[in-house]
Amino acid sequence: MNTLYQDNAFVDSNDARVSVFDRSFLFGEGLFESFRSYEGQLPFLRHHLDRLGWSSTVLGLTIPDLNFEKICLELLEKNGFEDARFKIVLSRQGKGFGPNIEPEDDTPSLIIFCEELANKEETVSSLKVCRNHINNTAPLATMKTTSYLTKIIAKKEAMEAGFDDAILLDSKGHVTETCSGNLFWIDPSGKLKTPMAEQGCLAGVTQNILKKLLADQKFKIEESVISPNDLSSCKEVFVTNAVQGVMPVGQIDDRNISGGDIGDVTAMIRDLWVKNIKDQLKH
């Protein structure tokens, strides 16, 4: 039980309610962004709001004119958190339950969730290739919509098999991303690569910031396509997302990566990411 923000008010999570005519509930017609705080600060919030703004224009939603940073900081204070995970959800409102009924207006319902992040020991992730659910190149694949069933089913399949997450493929059988982040790999020749944006991958906030950090370090990154078999034969693989940062991958299906541990290049990149976070924080 904690405090969240819903439609211009701070409310207890037990008292929060969503309309039965909410079109995100009925049809998945909504957007979300997940991010985290560090030591009570929100260094990357602006990047997530920018992506939310772009996605909202595609769906024809109007983002409420609010001071999101002030609201999120107040949520931290009300809940007594410093390191927390946030989720902003925009959901279109409707008048009935039919898909052809015109929505009430372009201003969606807004909910901001806030939950404490527990201190976890650094781990190495295991991934299962999911071949049953295609991650296509349609515009929806490049946005964080509340129509999230493909990734939910794929991750459930992976976790039931004893893995942490699933690798999704496009219609040609090439690797795109995981259910919770963007993929990078060090190929056998030592080159750092990531999937091509046009494959239908989400433009990750952490992914894009990391690309710029590495470019500043004269570290070249290539966009490429790769098969699941070739990915599992790479020297190193890691995943990036807004909550975990840089997560090393130690296993793909039945193959170990980097001997099942974090590789040297991944460790260097993760250290660079941690240093960037510290540099962003205001003291």
pLDDT of residue 106: 64
Lowest mean pLDDT among 8-22, 96-110, 237-251: 96-110
pLDDT of residue 142: 75
Tell me what the mean pLDDT of segment 230-238 comes to: 96
User: Tens digit of pLDDT for each residue in 168-183?
Assistant: 999 899 999 999 999 9
Lowest mean pLDDT among 9-18, 143-152, 179-188: 143-152
pLDDT of residue 201: 84
pLDDT of residue 200: 75
> Do residues 177 and 199 make contact, with C-beta atoms less than 8 angstroms apart?
no
- Which ranges constitute the DSSP H helices of 102-204? 149-160
Q: Higher confidence at residue 264 or residue 140?
A: 264
User: Tens digit of pLDDT for each residue in 20-41?
Assistant: 989 999 989 999 999 999 999 9
Candidates 246, 236, 250; CA nearest to 211 is 246
Whether the per-residue pLDDT at 282 is higher than 90: the answer is no
pLDDT of residue 272: 95
Number of Cβ atoms within 10 Å of the Cβ of 224: 15
Whether the per-residue pLDDT at 103 is higher than 90: the answer is no
Candidates 185, 186, 207, 206; CA nearest to 197 is 207
User: Tens digit of pLDDT for each residue in 47-73?
Assistant: 999 999 999 998 888 899 999 999 999
Tell me what the mean pLDDT of segment 228-241 comes to: 96
Tokens 């211009």 label which residue?
8
pLDDT of residue 105: 62
Residues 253 and 52: their CA atoms lie apart, in Å, by 34
pLDDT of residue 283: 64
Tell me what the mean pLDDT of segment 209-221 comes to: 92
Q: Which of the four pLDDT bands, split at 50, 70 and 90, describes residue 101? A: low
User: Tens digit of pLDDT for each residue in 258-277?
Assistant: 999 999 999 999 999 999 99
Average pLDDT, the chain: 91
Q: Are strands 84-91 and 109-116 parallel, antiparallel or unpaired?
A: antiparallel
Tell me the whole-structure pTM to 2 decimals. Answer: 0.92
pLDDT of residue 137: 65
Tell me what the mean pLDDT of segment 106-126 comes to: 87
**Domains, in order of start, for the chain:** 3-116 (3.30.470.10), 125-280 (3.20.10.10)
Q: Which of the four pLDDT bands, split at 50, 70 and 90, describes residue 148? A: confident
**Which residues are registered as beta bridge partners of 241?**
245
SS3 content of the chain, % helix, strand, coil (to 5): 30, 30, 40
